[in-house]
Amino acid sequence: MSYRFGSVGEVVKQLESVNYLADERIATIVFLADRLGKPILVEGPAGTGKTELAKALAAITDAELIRLQCYEGLDEAKALYEWNYKKQLLRIQAEQGREETWEQVETDIFSEDFLLERPLLKAIRTTRPSVLLIDEIDKTDFEFEGLLLELLSDFQVSIPELGTIVATTRPLVALTSNNTRELSEALKRRCLYLYLDYPDLEREKAIVLARVPELPETLAGQIVRLVRSIRALELKKAPSISETLDWARTLLHLGLTDLDAGIARDTLSVLLKFNADLEKVAAHLKLPPRPELN
């Protein structure tokens, strides 16, 4: 069996080559997921790089990223497969009056030509390298988790009309969760666990400079220190890493090399998405009010 990575250090270097700065803990889990053939369950606050990790893994392995975005009410038909009922109906109507038994028609309409492939089935049937991202699994219910168990254990799915389909090329699987609910023990047992929190100051600064290389290092340091102080407050939504990057790009586009109170006041809405959070942060930072318009 061929493996994607030769060592933990190789994972670190390859992820760095696509500007995903992983520490040895993250790289070790990725390495073991490849060697053991297990999915990675990545939990943590929103915006800490969980989805980006899957995208980076697809990039460094030259694999197709197959993404299933989860939501409340997601079911088998949208995640795995469904039959093209309209096409089946047309086929049945076309056979009316012909000398074909129902068994013959039924065999025909429940064939590949009438199958609508969804992300989970696509990941099992593809013959090229792939990364399957099951994003925000915590938004689904326990019944949907049950649907995943066969796939994550044996990398196969059962379709009553077609039989059991076994993966010929196993995908690298990443499930992400924002911890909005507790996942089942059965699902967790099938996965390697990785918790991604907000990075420390130096690592976040390195991320900012890697993603926004034109930014002055001094300004990057100011941005990261201020964002970290904001995250320490009790907010409805703390700024994510992606929002830190958006703010860095904003200040770069404004041609700034230094962060002052006025600019912070006028651009905080790039970081914060609730007015109550804006007011709390402005009070915390003692930012001056906007000047009145004449």
Kindly give the confidence (pLDDT) of every residue in the chain, 294 residues in length, as a single tens digit, with 9 standing for 90 and above. Answer: 689 999 999 999 999 999 999 999 999 999 999 999 999 999 999 889 999 999 999 999 999 999 999 999 998 889 998 888 888 788 777 767 666 665 666 667 777 788 889 999 999 999 999 999 999 999 998 889 988 988 888 888 888 888 888 988 899 999 999 988 999 999 999 999 999 999 999 999 999 999 999 999 999 999 999 999 999 999 999 999 999 999 999 999 999 888 888 888 889 999 999 999 999 998 988 877 766 545
Q: What's the confidence (pLDDT) of residue 115?
A: 85
Q: Which CATH entry fits the domain spanning 8-80+122-195: 1.20.59.10, 3.40.50.720, 3.40.50.300, 3.40.47.10?
A: 3.40.50.300
Half-sphere exposure of 173 (CA within 13 A, CB side): 30
Q: What's the confidence (pLDDT) of residue 113?
A: 81
Half-sphere exposure of 294 (CA within 13 A, CB side): 0
Q: What's the confidence (pLDDT) of residue 104?
A: 66
Question: CB count, 10 Å around CB of 236?
Answer: 11
User: At residue 221, what is the residue type?
Assistant: G
Q: What angle do CA 78, 79, 80 make, to 5 degrees?
A: 105
Question: CB count, 10 Å around CB of 8?
Answer: 17
Q: What's the confidence (pLDDT) of residue 98?
A: 67
Q: Distance between CA atoms of 27 and 33, rounded to whole angstroms?
A: 10
Instruction: Supply 216's token pair.
Output: 């002055």
**In the chain, what are the domain boundaries?**
8-80+122-195, 81-117, 201-285
E strand map for 73-200: 81-83, 115-117, 130-135, 156-159, 163-166, 172-177, 192-195
- For 67, the enclosing helix (H) or strand (E) is strand 64-69
Helix, strand, coil distribution of the chain in percent, nearest 5 = 50, 15, 35
